[in-house]
Structure 1
């Protein structure tokens, strides 16, 4: 298949385990592969370049900043842009979808794909985990990334999105210890977002809320207007039972229980614990500038 007129953007940091699989899955449909690397110390850069990717390097702040930096500095000239993580890959080449990019009506400026999550080598089919709908392909210049510490999305600045039959597989092969460390970091950023919703110590990028109806928008509204309003430590229990019982997560068997418990209960409880800890540091303080200083000092993040 001839490559489509689409650039694929990949973020990396020490991804030598994953980068070859990722690039090989998209190299036949991409006219340009751009790796934005955070100064990896392993063979990530050499592997990416050997597979034909362009590599740019930029110091890491968060996902949103890094993606937008890539869009602003990679000199992308293709008609379309696609974002994929290094530990993800296209399950198969959906040739017809990419062939038809040039024939889509002008009003279609984004494509919503399905994300398939693997845990310990097993596809998580149940528990409201598949499909996860996410906008990952957009017309060059029509999309930008939300400026958020966590749960950032590509937001269309014009036009509308269309759902397509493309599966991106998220299958990280690092250890469980690595997975726990990653989610500990995520929990800190999630805590920042929750407390910012309450104390408003940083500007909030509400572009997704202002966008048209999308699965990501609906999910965020439920999270911010319902879940985050529930009592801490109670809400993770509700969420776990919703996923594991009502959404049939138990059908994912032993590894499924581990995933739904760790990602649906343990992780959400860790977020709440970090919220409780931070609230005690904030105390009676109501000054947004001081709250921001306290949280920046506590987390080590450049807020």
Structure 2
């Protein structure tokens, strides 16, 4: 299409033949270029990428942020804008149309664009229980952002001051794998979440404390709420989190799917994180150096260096 904005998509992949074509079809109408950074897939990921003329690179996986930043720095992106999207996500028609309509019209002061994520679970969208709308910075001017180095929930960090606009439409998060895959993935996530939690409490990485303020920006409010949650007692907070998501934020209105999601994501996963923290404390206590050694020996993670 002649009116495509100057936009490149970056997708990280590993064995994503189930999802990738759906993602690439949705990007085809809005992106001049698509860059795929693959972690040496063994399925048909590369063939699908080349079918859609995506630029295909391979790099050894370290973690999400390192891989994504490698893509930003080493794939010669020359468009004005960049969009971050996962292989199991895609843009709905409304978002595609609004990107086409608005991206080229923003003035130079606009350096970032937020879009809404809409999660699907058991083949239907989740809109209750605090799941929607969730706005994330997903589009930015080339060169003004990088992915933050964290163990979990890595977000894009803007490297300069500027305006951020919202664009209507949804980035659909719709994974097609089964619940066994989901629980296995979240078991691994729980280890990293436990490390991320303990890093905030013990500062393994000796990083500067970021501003948290309930009345500040959305990011500052999120950090404030996160720290408030972390100060609650182990094993109590998963019950409270489930209660808020399922009852206060009306997750029960999603029916059986909402109950399953709330139990698994809001209770089981959070409870598992607390169990892994409890296990670490039980093994070596709350001494910072002993905890660093514990995660190195038990899981092979150097928690002092997230990258």
Task: Mark yes or no: TM-score above 0.5.
Answer: yes
* Other-structure match for 1:138: 140
Secondary structure class of the residue paired with 1:100: helix
Aligned to 1:248: 250
Aligned to 1:156: 158
Tell me which residue corresponds to 1:61.
Answer: 62
Structure-2 residue corresponding to 1:80: 81
Number of the residue aligned with 1:230: 232
Q: Does the 8 Å contact 2:251/2:262 carry over to 1?
A: yes
Give the Cα separation in 1 of the matches to 2:267 and 2:284.
26
Aligned to 2:170: 167
| 1:299 to 2:302 alignment | no
Higher mean C-alpha displacement, 262-271 vs 49-58: 49-58
Further displaced range: 266-275 or 195-204: 195-204
Q: What is residue 10 of structure 1 aligned with on the other side?
A: 11
The yes-or-no answer on 1:184 pairing with 2:187 is yes
Is 1:49 equivalent to 2:59 in the alignment? Answer: no
> Are the counterparts in 2 of residues 80 and 138 from structure 1 also a CA contact under 8 Å?
yes
- Residue 16 of structure 1 and its aligned partner are, at CA, apart by 0.5
Deviation digits for residues 163-212 of structure 1 (CA, Å, limit 9, x no counterpart): 111310000000100000111111111111111112222144767869x9
- The C-alpha deviation readout for 1:106-136, integer Å capped at 9, x for no partner, is 2210001000000111111100001111100
The residue that corresponds to 2:122 in the other structure is 120
**How far off its partner does 1:98 sit?**
2.8
Q: List gaps (5 residues or longer) in structure 1.
A: none
Segment drifting more, 154-163 vs 24-33: 154-163
Q: Report the 3-state secondary structure (helix = DSSP H, G, I; strand = E; otherwise coil) of the residue aligned with 2:239.
A: helix
Residues 50-94 of structure 1: CA distance to partner in whole angstroms, max 9, x if unpaired?
Answer: 111111111112111111111111111100000000000001153
**Counterparts of 2:275 and 2:180 in 1: how far apart (Å)?**
20
* SS of equivalent to 2:247: helix
Asked if structure 1 preserves the Cα contact closer than 8 Å seen for 2:30 and 2:96, the reply is no
2:119 touches 2:174 (CA, 8 Å); kept in 1? yes
* CA displacement 1:204-230 (0-9 Å, x = unmatched): 4767869x9553442232112x00000
Relative to the length of structure 2, the TM-score reads 0.92
Which residue matches 2:25? 24
CA contact under 8 A between 1:147 and 1:205: conserved in structure 2? no
1:198 aligns with 2:201: yes
Change (3 A) 1:27 1:207: farther
Task: Say if 1:209 and 1:79 are closer, same or farther in 2 by CA, change over 3 A.
Answer: farther
Cα contact 2:98–2:169 (8 A) shared by 1: no
SS in 1 for 2:17: coil
Q: Shift of the alpha carbon at 1:275?
A: 0.7
TM-score by length of 1: 0.93
SS in 1 for 2:184: helix
| Closer, same or farther: CA 18–214 of 1 in aligned 2, 3 Å | farther
Tell me, in whole angstroms, the C-alpha distance in 1 between the residues paired with 2:177 and 2:201. 35
| Aligned CA distance change for structure 1 residues 209 and 137 (closer, same or farther; 3 Å) | farther
Q: Which runs of 5+ in 2 are unaligned?
A: none
**CA-based RMSD:** 1.9
Partner of residue 268, structure 2: 266
